[in-house]
Amino acid sequence: MGTLSGLRRLLAGILMLGMTATFVDLLLLQHDEDIVQLVPLVLLASGIVAVAWHAWTWSPASGTAVRVLMALFIGAGVAGVYYHFAANVEFQRETDPALRGSALAWQALEAKVPPALAPGAMVQLGLLGLAYTYRHKER
């Protein structure tokens, strides 16, 4: 096994571990109250299946599936940060209507529930998945 092949296997393992841990974490947090909250769960489950498929077959179709899902991970992560931040801004405005500007933004970022930047993990997983499939020659 060459260095690049070993590195790809390592990236696949890290990606699978990250997706599985994030999936379990979201399940434990009951991140399934509405359709929007189901998006990361569906993407993570699909990503686990796609990466396993690709690691097993290295087919062009599986490589494309992983790349498309990883792009969706990035989009979902960015959208998730927006939704979490917007929910925190709304809550902060309800608790302190006088809060404005950067003070409001910092309060929203520092809020514990929902953690504003937590969906950034989906962005990281998406980038890791794209790195895993970068210039990968399928069989």
Residue 63 clears pLDDT 80, i.e. is over it: yes
Q: Write out pLDDT tens, residues 10-30.
A: 999 999 999 999 999 999 999
State which residues form the domain around 8: 3-133
Q: In what helix (H) or strand (E) does residue 118 lie, and over which residues does it extend? A: none
106: in domain: yes
Q: Write out pLDDT tens, residues 100-110.
A: 999 999 999 99
89: in domain: yes
Structure tokens at 78: 């960015």
DSSP code, position 35: H
92: in domain: yes
Q: Write out pLDDT tens, residues 32-59.
A: 999 999 999 999 999 999 999 999 999 9
pTM metric for this prediction: 0.93
Domain count, the chain: 1
Judge whether 125 and 15 are in contact, CB under 8 Å: yes
13: in domain: yes
139: in domain: no
138: in domain: no
Which pLDDT score, from 0 to 100, does residue 136 have? Answer: 73
Which pLDDT score, from 0 to 100, does residue 3 have? Answer: 86
